């Protein structure tokens, strides 16, 4: 799989026309397969899709050829593809009266409904409880939950330059091509660069500048407005598999990737990473991650999940199919993982997102570094919420308590209030404000906080609202003004309240 030659991209537009004509798109697949079979395909379960493609329409033929990777009679394949060109260019191979796909071609819907295609190695579309089941070093994976998560959290403002570190099959470079004038994609695996070239060409996107090498080595001291990376973040004993194992000890690859990004970001630029990090005995994981943040950068780090070392080892042993090997061999590999964690005093592994932004305030010694745990459901895409988070941090850095009380605020869209208490009780035990967008946060507030948030429509300054609340509740307005700014600051920081820009 990792040694076969790859198709030539030169005549990709002709193949793309054929795929579109057959409705071999994300929407077309959903219409053909139905929701259950479509969802099963995303989990790498193919039986429902096979049952749904027993006809001879061009779309059914393409699904069986490129997604299910079944042999197709030559004459039937001719009805769906410019077959002579596809054989010549290496997209399919012919044996007797049958043709087979040489690569996985997977329809993928862009953020504005674009019909894109992600090209990867056969059998390496990501999904399924058993992992990809491959132990070949150079395989290149397709679209998985990690790559779509990274695409969703990335800020998508127009930029001059973007860098995709560890591009794999090219999904991040493909997204970046829509809002970056120049895209550079790097990977240690030269095969991944070839797949990125195919993905971009078959998706009708502009080509990227492709460079081979590890981390930032291929770009030297060049700087960018956007950096994204879904790196080989797995913390493992050794570097068996290029697509997942970083080859450095512990979480050093992710740390190095994050720490060195500051020197490659332009002012105002963003860097987005997925990462794993160690939970070390006797060390706070938040302190570990704060040490990764480079000078001159603000940071928002979200831990989404934590696994103990046994869960983590089992997950990645299944991913590579080691659980299907000889029992003694499996036990030896499992032991090696646990030996590695024991030697490093690792008690768990965290997974999450790291977003950096280069800012003048951080460079001046006043960075905003927010590190939190949030395992709950969020609403993707989160890019706008990420951008809003940093804008709120900028605002709060500039406001002392007096400025907050003089400021005007509005309640964010789709914030709901929940009252929690015993049935029939005159007053609730507590009040919860809950977001239905973005991070979908919830926070407890007291009666003052609930009343304050409820009347924030931007017309009155915060101090005047508190004075009115004090009068209604028979409280001392001076004491209320003294104790409330911290609560206002928290509601702004978490996105429940939005500052109203001053009018000229």
Give per-residue pLDDT as tens, 263-296: 999 999 999 999 999 999 999 999 999 999 999 9
Structure tokens at 442: 């919830």
Give per-residue pLDDT as tens, 347-404: 999 999 999 999 999 999 999 999 999 999 999 999 999 999 999 999 999 999 999 9
End-to-end CA distance of the chain: 64
Task: Give the separation between CA 33 and CA 53, rounded to whole angstroms.
Answer: 8
Give per-residue pLDDT as tens, 25-73: 999 999 999 999 999 988 878 999 999 999 999 999 999 999 999 999 9
Number of residues in the chain:
504
What is the pLDDT tens value at each position of the chain, 504 positions in all?
445 689 999 999 999 999 999 999 999 999 999 999 999 988 878 999 999 999 999 999 999 999 999 999 999 999 999 999 999 999 999 999 999 999 999 999 999 999 999 999 998 765 433 444 455 668 899 998 999 999 999 999 999 999 999 999 999 999 999 999 999 999 999 999 999 999 999 999 999 999 999 999 999 999 999 999 999 999 999 777 777 887 788 999 999 999 999 999 999 999 999 999 999 999 999 999 999 999 999 999 999 999 999 999 999 999 888 888 889 999 999 999 999 999 999 999 999 999 999 999 999 999 999 999 999 999 999 999 999 999 999 999 999 999 999 999 999 999 999 988 888 777 778 899 999 999 999 999 999 999 999 999 999 999 999 999 999 999 999 999 999 999 999 999 999 999 999 874
DSSP secondary structure of 14-71: HHHHHHHHTT-SHHHHHHHH-HHHHHHHHTT--HHHHHHT-S-SHHHHHIIIIIS---
pLDDT at residue 136 in the model: 65
Task: Give the separation between CA 421 and CA 428, rounded to whole angstroms.
Answer: 5
């Amino acid at each position: 799989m990792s040694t076969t030659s790859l198709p030539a991209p030169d005549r990709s537009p002709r193949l793309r026309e054929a795929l579109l004509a057959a409705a071999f798109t994300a929407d077309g697949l959903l219409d053909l397969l139905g929701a259950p079979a479509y969802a099963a395909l995303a989990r790498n379960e193919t039986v429902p899709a096979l049952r749904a493609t027993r006809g001879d329409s061009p779309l059914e033929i393409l699904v069986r050829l490129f997604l299910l990777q079944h042999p197709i009679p030559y004459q039937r394949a001719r009805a769906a593809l410019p077959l002579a060109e596809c054989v010549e260019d290496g997209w399919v191979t012919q044996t007797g009266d049958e043709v087979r796909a040489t690569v996985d071609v997977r329809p993928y819907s862009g953020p504005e409904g674009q019909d894109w295609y992600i090209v990867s190695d056969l059998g390496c579309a990501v999904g399924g409880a058993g992992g990809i089941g491959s132990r070949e070093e150079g395989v290149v994976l397709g679209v998985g939950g990690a790559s779509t998560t990274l695409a969703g959290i990335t800020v998508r403002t127009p930029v001059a330059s973007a860098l995709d570190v560890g591009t794999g099959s090219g999904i991040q470079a493909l997204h970046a091509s829509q809002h970056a004038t120049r895209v550079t994609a790097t990977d240690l695996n030269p095969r991944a660069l070839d797949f990125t070239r195919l993905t971009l060409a078959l998706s009708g996107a502009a080509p990227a500048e492709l460079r081979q090498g590890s981390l930032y080595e291929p770009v030297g001291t060049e700087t960018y407005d956007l950096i994204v990376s879904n790196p080989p973040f797995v913390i493992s004993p050794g570097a068996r598999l290029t697509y997942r194992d970083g080859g450095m000890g512990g979480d050093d690859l992710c740390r190095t990737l994050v720490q060195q990004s500051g020197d490659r970001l332009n002012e105002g630029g963003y860097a987005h990473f997925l990462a794993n990090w160690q939970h070390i005995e006797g060390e706070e994981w938040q302190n570990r991650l704060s040490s990764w943040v480079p000078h001159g950068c603000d940071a928002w780090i979200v831990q989404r999940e934590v696994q103990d070392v046994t869960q983590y080892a089992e997950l990645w042993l299944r991913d590579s199919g080691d659980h299907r090997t000889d029992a003694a061999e499996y036990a030896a590999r499992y032991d090696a993982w646990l030996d590695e964690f024991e030697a490093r005093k690792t008690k768990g592994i965290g997974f999450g997102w790291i977003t950096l932004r280069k800012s003048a305030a951080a460079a001046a010694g006043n960075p905003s570094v927010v590190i939190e745990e949030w395992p709950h459901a969020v609403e993707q895409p989160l890019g706008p919420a990420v951008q809003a988070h940093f804008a709120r941090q900028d605002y709060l850095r500039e406001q002392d308590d007096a400025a907050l009380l003089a400021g005007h605020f509005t309640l964010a869209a789709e914030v709901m209030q929940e009252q929690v208490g015993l049935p029939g009780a005159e007053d609730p035990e507590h009040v919860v404000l809950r977001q239905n967008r973005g991070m979908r946060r919830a926070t407890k507030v007291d009666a003052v906080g609930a009343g304050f948030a409820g009347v924030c429509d931007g017309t009155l300054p915060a101090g005047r609202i508190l004075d009115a609340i004090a009068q209604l509740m028979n409280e001392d307005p001076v004491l209320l003004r003294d104790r409330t700014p911290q609560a206002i600051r928290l509601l702004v920081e978490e996105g429940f309240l939005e500052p109203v820009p001053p009018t000229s």
